[in-house]
Amino acid sequence: MKIAAQDLVPLATIKLHLRVEGDSEDTLIELYAESALAWALWYCDNPKLVEPGDFPASFKSALLLLIGHSYANREAIVTGTIAAELPLAVESLLWSSRDWYGPRDEVRV
């Protein structure tokens, strides 16, 4: 089964997080959501994340932060601003969902 971002966080919740009303940007928001999910799954590299019930709230919160970042920063370059990573943000939220044991078929001593 392939998980879709909206299986984890409904579009209405994403739009609430983004403070977006109306549906003119839904396609763009859905694209950002799928991209955020793909990155988070890559980062976690956890084969146990298969069904929607396997994903903790912290994973879903991280998706919202990633989607918000993509939505707010639509260009590759931003000028005239100062940016800083927020502590306890995306990576911290995903930390508990990472696979710390490696491939399942690996022999452990």
Instruction: Please provide the DSSP assignment of 44-82 as one string.
Output: H--TT--SGGGS-HHHHHHHHHHHHHHHH--SS---S--
Q: Where exactly are the structural domains of the chain?
A: 5-97
One-letter amino acid for residue 2 of the chain: K
CATH level 2 (architecture), domain 5-97: Orthogonal Bundle (1.10)
pLDDT of residue 76: 79
The predicted-structure confidence for 8-52, as pLDDT tens digits, reads as follows 999 999 999 999 999 999 999 999 999 999 999 999 999 999 999
The predicted-structure confidence for 40-96, as pLDDT tens digits, reads as follows 999 999 999 999 999 999 999 999 999 999 999 888 777 777 777 666 588 888 988
pLDDT of residue 34: 98
Torsion from C-alpha of 36, 42, 45, 51, nearest 10 degrees:
40
The pair phi, psi for residue 45, each rounded to 5°, is: 45, 50
Report how far residue 71's alpha carbon sits from residue 28's, in angstroms, rounded to the nearest whole number.
8
pLDDT of residue 83: 73
pTM: 0.82
